[in-house]
Amino acid sequence: MTLPEVTEKVDYLEAVLGEFIVQTQRSFIRLEREMVAFKDEMKEFKDEMKEFKDEMKEFKDEMKEFKDEVRADTKSMKKQWAELSEKLGSFAEDISLPNIPRIARDYFNEPDVLTIMPTVRKRNVLKRGDEFEFDGIVETINKIFLMEAKFTVRMDFLNKLPAIQSNFRAVFPEYANKELVFIFASMSIPDNIIKKLTKLGIYALSLGDDNMDLLNFKDIQSKKQKPSI
């Protein structure tokens, strides 16, 4: 190979190497720029994550405050419900029971009241563990009036009334010689409930125009007067 040829090849290699160096430098510059941009994006991402964490912490604090408020409101509501339930529970004693002496006089010709007993608890001496509660008992000369009262009428409770009557007879044998008049009292009693009570032979006592009155007195009396076949 001649010297000119060698020189030409060296020049060519130098040109190629120079171009390679230039391209490599450009790639490094581009990569450096991309790395700077990536670092900026990562910094922005970290800042956003920090902001998100701060918002989440603020949200958690707000949720804790909200839960505390709900807990306090629930506690207050439970207290109010308990007070309301207590007031409604006194419906038997405060409203219904005072009407029984008048009912005994006007409907059953029993003017002489011997005893008025609100909210009676009585154990069955013949069967250990049995204890029953009755909303009100009124004793007259010839009859004993047993009253159960509910502010809201429920059919499932009506199905328990015959058992309540049996329990009363079991724990009060001293009233065995007196006619039992069983009365269910409520603020308002629908027609289907009145029919159910009549079928059971239980008087329905509810608010009338002026006082509480028996709603099915005539029906039960007619039922009693019908001759058995």
What gap in Å lies between CA 153 and CA 205, rounded to an integer? 12
The larger pLDDT score, comparing residue 204 to residue 125, is at 204
pTM of the complete model = 0.62
* pLDDT over 70 (residue 16): no
Which residues lie below 8 Å from residue 146, measured CB to CB, with a gap of 6+?
134, 136, 137, 164, 165, 168, 180, 181, 182, 183
121 shares its domain with 173: yes
Mind listing the pLDDT tens digit for each residue in 149-166? 988 888 888 899 999 999
Across residues 128-150, what is the average pLDDT? 91
Residue 117 has pLDDT above 50, yes or no: yes
Q: Which structural domain range is residue 84 located in? A: 1-89
Which residue, 51, 71, 89, sits at the end of a domain? Answer: 89
**Domain shared by 53 and 148, yes or no:** no
Residues 68 and 9 in one domain: yes
Among the candidates 66, 89, 112, a domain finishes at 89
pLDDT one-digit tens code per residue, 31-77: 777 777 777 777 787 777 877 777 887 877 777 777 777 676 666 66
Using pLDDT thresholds of 50, 70 and 90, give the confidence band for residue 228: low
What are the pLDDT digits (tens) for 183-223? 999 888 999 999 999 999 999 999 876 788 999 999 999 88
Could you give the 3-state DSSP secondary structure of residue 202? coil
Q: Helices 161-171 and 191-200 sit at what angle, rounded to 10 degrees?
A: 40
